[in-house]
Structure 1
Amino acid sequence: MTASALNGDVAARRRPDSYPWKVLVVTTLGSLLTFVNSTSLNVALPAISEAFAIPAATADWMLVAFMLTLTSLILVFARISDMVGRKRLYLGGLALMTGASLAAAFALDPTTLIILRCLQGVAAASIIPNMNAMIADAFPHRLLALGLSLNIMMASVASMMGPLVGGVLLGAFGWQSLFLVNVPFGVAALALGIFVLRAEDRSRRVRRVRFDFAGAALSIATLTMLMIGINRVSAWGWQDIRPYLLIAGALCALVAFVAVERRVREPLIDLALVREKARALAYATAFLMSFAQAAVMVVVVLAEQLLRGATPAQTGLIAATLAGSVMVASPLSGLLAKWWSSRTVSSAGALFSLLGYVGVFTSLLIDEQSALLLLSLICIGAGNGIFTAPNTAAIMGGLPENRRGISNGIRSVLFNGALTLGTAIALLIVGQSLQAVDVGGYGEPVADPGAVVGGFQFAAGLLIAFSAGALTCSLARGGPWRATFIDSPNPAGSPLDSPAPREVRSAAP
């Protein structure tokens, strides 16, 4: 090889690869489509309830149907993505989400709208698990935390736009516009994804594997019975035995699911991923943080509209405060990860969130609460923004490429399962407090807020308990407080292609 050719080869190797950043653009559009669709409906719940003249327990399904379907199918699609490739599954989800959003705008009855929300959940289940996995595939390890934090920031932008855009569109054009706004994002994301995303290396896929149909059926049954049981307590009453039978059935299905996963050769969930203490506690922390994050949105949005008489636009602006602080704080976590371990950074985020939930609870006890509420939401959002990227990197780091999909699938099902549970339980608590004063829906502000504020306070107290549990789990992972990167060989089977991380103990106690 000539000297000029050798120099050209070295220069090509040193030339930065733009593909990871192109992937980030594609996932950003997917985030806009998915999370704008998800969060905008929070502020529209009273308007949809009034438009269709439906009780609160039915209106709840506009949120729960999407989340339930999404959570039930995440593990299924995460496994399929490892088998058939992430690109085609991701693009199929974008197409379905766009079409279902367009159809939902013209729904004439609540049943049709709930069915279309289920289809949107199916689409989201094929989009969300693939986003972080595609980023983990594309980014070198030294930039993985930065790539994940930027993706989380973009998802937070979408979450911030949801309540804000939703409130504005709702006041100007009605609830149908909340679905129509998804269509241009979907078309753009689909077109860009087709041209940008590379076809996966077929040799890296999980090959000649039997799909775990029994595990898939049992996981779907577990989540479906649990969510329906929790939701129907509000509609059927605490004295009705049917909700408890559904919840008991969910527990039995969960036991059967674990038993099946231990026996089959190719399980839907690789239980080896949760046997390691640090990874298992990272999963648990993600669940507890997500539960509180979802529930606080429900509590704040409904408290502002039903107790304080805020308009949808005002409520959207308040809710956007939380997502906006996530957006600002998320890149910070990627920078902190250069000096501090994932345990340190994620625990700091959990502590910030805990302080915010205490502030939300306190704001429900006082009359002049606006400044305290906004400050509390900023604290919660900053905490979640700092927490998520290092915790996700700890879950997915060091795994071979063909196991990242299922690893992120487990994280996603816990994350979205917590969102679903948090939303359902918060709606249940609020709905029961409304029923106690003979208010059947979310259509109008409550005449006597003092009679129902206790339910909101109870829900806020529950958030404090879950957030404290998240901080405890994050600290209990053990390990060093500080981290650095050194040049060392990659572990066997690891996909890492850059200096491997080594955490070092801090001099501080």
Structure 2
Amino acid sequence: MVSVPLEPDMPDYAPALRYAWRVCSVTSLGMLLIGMSGSTLNVALPAVVRHFDAGPLASNWILLAYMLTNTATLVFFGRVSDLLGKREVYLVGFALFTAGSLLSGLAPDVGLLIALRAVQGLGAAMIIANGTLILTDAFPPDRLSQGMGFYFGVLSVAQLAGPTLGGLIADTLGWRWIFWINVPAGLFALLWGMFTLRRLPVSGPRQSLDGAGNLIVFAALSATLFAVSEGSLIAGLIALALVPVLVAAERRAVNPVLNFRLLSERVLLMANLATLCNAVARASLILLAGLYFQTARGADALAAGLGVLPVALGMGLGSPVSGTLGRRVGPYALALGGSVLCVAGLLILLLGSGPATPYWILAAGLFMTGCGSGTFLTGNTTQVMSGLPAENMGVVNAFRLMAMNTGVAVSVALTLGILTSAVSPELRSQVYAGTLSRLSPVALDQLMTGFWRTYAVLFGLAVLGTVFSALARAPRRGGTVVPDVS
């Protein structure tokens, strides 16, 4: 029997839509929690580094430990949710993230903080792996773009409030409250989710977990992040050597963590490559701009948080507006248009990457990039998810999330690696601590070279992502055609 989407005048449509928006409130809380956590720490990182007197390597991994565990376990927890239920794994993710946040604020040294950040990443992976699936299952197809627009709009709100809140907390209450602020929000999200979410049936037969594939992905991504952030040739060679090992292992796996058969469908391949490039190009922008204002201009954490607000304002405008427009212009046009806006914004930042550039120029570039990011995320996600048959939705969504989160992790590692490469090794810790502007003009000139190089690379990746977005047009109407990957 073929199921037909309910029309607005059918009696069951209104209750279904009300439930969908309640589900959206739960998943949006998850997005708020994760987005707020990342954006507050991006601005407050110098305060944490100064407290622990952390070196460049430890400073990098305060951010990268979270991103590594988050990215490497996304598909794993997607598989676990097939066994235990999406609702159950989603709620456990809230509990683990909240506990990790509480303990991170109590960390006595930077090593333990890095370990607890990895625990936070595990909880976030459970939340992210299931949030989009739960939302897609709840919304009628004709309203999915609106739900996605609101969902990613909340991320914009988190990134809007996060930098300012992070700067304010770091300057007044201290860095530990950067983590503790997540605790009441996480507890509320957990309770609201338990009350609201219905149990979802397990989709298809129970599937085994690809333990070997998960370990290889974790090792390869670890080596990649270390190679990019530290410029380690050995780590880069290890990462390259693990690629054929991963491909061979996944071809033999019954339920591979990375199903490379997805790459046989051109639309999915191009859309995921666009996701990867866009994430690398824009994900570290708040971190990069926050370091610019503190390191190059000598601003405090609060002033830096206010300085990066245009990024979140742009995302806050782009996501909901594009969600509404999605019912008229289609997700392909939104994804491509958003990608073009990102290119234009990064070009402004590239041309204006100097210590004396007027703030309004920087604000224009930050706002345009943020607006493009929000538009791209809404369009690209809807484009990939809206045409999927139920039996392929989980694996395709996991692949999409893996591409996006890999891009986010690589973006941070790449940004910090390129930025600090222009500064002499003995001064790199001053970049993370936000104190380099107090040193000699020569050191500041070196840092400005680092900012220019970083924006140049991010701009190039944004252009490449736009090319992939343009190639992601579906060959015919009726949604993306997906091969049988079950």
User: What is the CA deviation profile of residues 94-126 of structure 1, one whole-angstrom value per residue up to 9, with x for unaligned ones?
Assistant: 001111111111111101111110100111111
Task: Check whether the contact 2:335–2:469 (CA below 8 A) recurs between aligned residues.
Answer: yes
1:408 to 397, 406, 413: 397
User: What is the CA deviation profile of residues 271-315 of structure 1, one whole-angstrom value per residue up to 9, with x for unaligned ones?
Assistant: 333321111100011111110112322321111111111111111
Q: Structure 2: how far apart are the matches of 1:331 and 1:118?
A: 31
Task: Check whether the contact 2:43–2:166 (CA below 8 A) recurs between aligned residues.
Answer: yes
Cα distance, 1:14–1:400 mapped onto 2, change above 3 Å: closer
Q: Which residue of 2 aligns with 1:466?
A: 461
Check if 1:230 corresponds to 2:219: no
Letter in 2 for 1:420: A
Q: Structure 2: how far apart are the matches of 1:375 and 1:319?
A: 11
Q: Which residue of 2 aligns with 1:76?
A: 76
User: What is the CA deviation profile of residues 136-194 of structure 1, one whole-angstrom value per residue up to 9, with x for unaligned ones?
Assistant: 11111101111111100011211222211101111111100101100111010000011
Task: Check whether the contact 2:90–2:130 (CA below 8 A) recurs between aligned residues.
Answer: yes
Equivalent positions of 1:22-61 (< 5 A) are 22-61=22-61
Q: Which residue of 1 aligns with 2:6?
A: none
Q: Which residue of 2 aligns with 1:337?
A: 326
* Range that drifts further, 13-22 or 42-51: 13-22
Q: Structure 2: how far apart are the matches of 1:390 and 1:420?
A: 22
Q: Which residue of 2 aligns with 1:305?
A: 294
Cα distance, 1:458–1:79 mapped onto 2, change above 3 Å: same
Q: Structure 2: how far apart are the matches of 1:289 and 1:11?
A: 40
Q: Structure 1: how far apart are the matches of 2:468 and 2:451?
A: 26
Check if 1:178 corresponds to 2:173: no
Identity %: 29
Q: 1:409 offset after TM fit, Å?
A: 1.3
Partner secondary structure for residue 106 of structure 2: coil
Q: Structure 2: how far apart are the matches of 1:493 and 1:12?
A: 35
Q: Which residue of 1 aligns with 2:308?
A: 319
Cα distance, 1:440–1:331 mapped onto 2, change above 3 Å: closer
Check if 1:15 corresponds to 2:14: yes
Q: Which residue of 1 aligns with 2:3?
A: none
Q: Structure 2: how far apart are the matches of 1:440 and 1:270?
A: 40
1:371 to 355, 360, 372: 360
Q: Structure 1: how far apart are the matches of 2:237 and 2:344?
A: 35
Q: 1:366 offset after TM fit, Å?
A: 6.5
Cα distance, 1:174–1:282 mapped onto 2, change above 3 Å: same
CA RMSD of aligned residues (A): 2.3
* Range that drifts further, 131-140 or 311-320: 311-320
Check if 1:257 corresponds to 2:257: no
Partner secondary structure for residue 267 of structure 1: coil
Check if 1:105 corresponds to 2:96: no
Q: 1:11 offset after TM fit, Å?
A: 6.5
Equivalent positions of 1:339-354 (< 5 A) are 339-354=328-343
Equivalent positions of 1:58-457 (< 5 A) are 58-202=58-202, 205-233=203-231, 243-365=232-354, 367-435=356-424, 438-441=427-430, 442-443=432-433, 444-446=435-437, 447=439, 448=441, 449-457=444-452
Q: Structure 1: how far apart are the matches of 2:28 and 2:474?
A: 33
Cα distance, 1:340–1:318 mapped onto 2, change above 3 Å: same
Task: Check whether the contact 2:315–2:373 (CA below 8 A) recurs between aligned residues.
Answer: yes
Segments of structure 1 that go 5 or more residues without pairing to the other structure are 1-9, 234-242, 495-509
Q: 1:56 offset after TM fit, Å?
A: 2.2
Q: Structure 2: how far apart are the matches of 1:214 and 1:436?
A: 38
Partner secondary structure for residue 399 of structure 1: coil
User: What is the CA deviation profile of residues 359-403 of structure 1, one whole-angstrom value per residue up to 9, with x for unaligned ones?
Assistant: 111221462320000011110011111111121112122223343
Cα distance, 1:436–1:201 mapped onto 2, change above 3 Å: closer
Q: Structure 2: how far apart are the matches of 1:254 and 1:200?
A: 35
Letter in 1 for 2:199: A
Q: 1:68 offset after TM fit, Å?
A: 1.0
Cα distance, 1:39–1:260 mapped onto 2, change above 3 Å: same
Task: Check whether the contact 2:343–2:369 (CA below 8 A) recurs between aligned residues.
Answer: yes
Q: Structure 1: how far apart are the matches of 2:68 and 2:369?
A: 24
User: What is the CA deviation profile of residues 205-226 of structure 1, one whole-angstrom value per residue up to 9, with x for unaligned ones?
Assistant: 2424222112111111111121
Q: 1:201 offset after TM fit, Å?
A: 1.7
Q: Which residue of 2 aligns with 1:506?
A: none
Letter in 1 for 2:404: F
* Range that drifts further, 29-38 or 438-447: 438-447
Check if 1:477 corresponds to 2:472: yes
Q: Structure 1: how far apart are the matches of 2:340 and 2:55?
A: 38
Partner secondary structure for residue 387 of structure 2: coil
Cα distance, 1:208–1:201 mapped onto 2, change above 3 Å: closer
Task: Check whether the contact 1:102–1:180 (CA below 8 A) recurs between aligned residues.
Answer: yes
Letter in 2 for 1:214: A
Task: Check whether the contact 1:339–1:484 (CA below 8 A) recurs between aligned residues.
Answer: no
Letter in 2 for 1:230: V
Q: 1:450 offset after TM fit, Å?
A: 2.0
- The TM-score, its normalising length taken from structure 2, stands at 0.91
Partner secondary structure for residue 422 of structure 2: helix
Partner secondary structure for residue 429 of structure 2: coil
Q: Structure 2: how far apart are the matches of 1:79 and 1:289?
A: 26
* Range that drifts further, 360-369 or 308-317: 360-369
User: What is the CA deviation profile of residues 307-366 of structure 1, one whole-angstrom value per residue up to 9, with x for unaligned ones?
Assistant: 111111111112232022111111121222222232222111111110100111122146
- The TM-score, its normalising length taken from structure 1, stands at 0.87
Letter in 2 for 1:298: L
Cα distance, 1:492–1:420 mapped onto 2, change above 3 Å: closer
Q: Structure 1: how far apart are the matches of 2:244 and 2:481?
A: 34
Q: Structure 1: how far apart are the matches of 2:483 and 2:350?
A: 48
Q: Structure 1: how far apart are the matches of 2:182 and 2:313?
A: 20
Partner secondary structure for residue 436 of structure 2: coil
Task: Check whether the contact 2:284–2:411 (CA below 8 A) recurs between aligned residues.
Answer: yes
Q: 1:12 offset after TM fit, Å?
A: 3.7
Task: Check whether the contact 2:250–2:256 (CA below 8 A) recurs between aligned residues.
Answer: yes
Cα distance, 1:189–1:399 mapped onto 2, change above 3 Å: same
